[in-house]
Amino acid sequence: MDLKAVIFDLNGTVIVDEELYDEAFSEVLRGLGVTATLQKPVKEAGIGTTENWEKLLQKYGVPTRKSPEVLSRETDEIYKKRLGEVAIRRGFRELSGELKGVGVARILATSNSTEMANLVIHFFDLHGCFDEVVTGDHVKKKKPEPDIFLLAAKKAGAEPAECVVIEDALSGVKAACKAGMRVVGVQGEDYPKAVGKADLVISSFDELTIEKLRGLL
């Protein structure tokens, strides 16, 4: 089987921002009067900010009239102001360039919004690192459902079995498996839960080669 596309998650995978998002969620929770939370709120990585607020409101029984959508925007505003604290995961740009050189499609597939994805792409000058971008706005069901990855494969003109997904979150690993794709697990917020279903585990992109990616198929 030939490798035709590598599909990258964004948050926690291409960029190392798990801690910043945790702190943004915590700050908004404190504004709602939830003071007895852990430094790191119990949220589910990879499913989307609004979806996490739906879970957090229920978990903490927060008496607020603010909708999950409003709370999601507040969280994103805090995140935007501190985006300069975020780093690109080591080796990403080099791997992206190597994939381009051998004609393998590079697709970004994130549950985050198109607005937030575009913001990150612009901020870090990642325009040349991806051939296509798929976000949570483009599908009816986000991760852990396979919709985002199946759409990414379609945009790449590839069959699922010709794609490798790179993910840090358990929801994303599950989605890739449901899509019938091989998965590289990145040691991020959901580690070690996510790696249980991953075919290969890395901590940085400089551990990956095109030969290793092809060898997963």
Q: Parallel, antiparallel, or unpaired: how do β-strands 163-167 and 5-8 relate?
A: parallel
Q: Which of 88, 102, 104, 122 is nearest to 7 (CA)?
A: 104
9 has catalytic annotation:
yes
Classify the C-alpha dihedral 133-139-143-145 as positive or negative.
Answer: negative
The C-alpha atoms of residue 167 and residue 194 are separated, in whole angstroms, by 8
Q: Which residues contact 207 (CB under 8 A, 6 or more apart)?
A: 91
Q: Which residue has the tokens 């089987």?
A: 1
Peptide bond into 144 cis (omega under 30): yes
Classify the C-alpha dihedral 154-44-113-165 as positive or negative.
Answer: negative
Catalytic residue among 2, 9, 147, 206: 9
Any idea which residues carry the catalytic annotation? 9
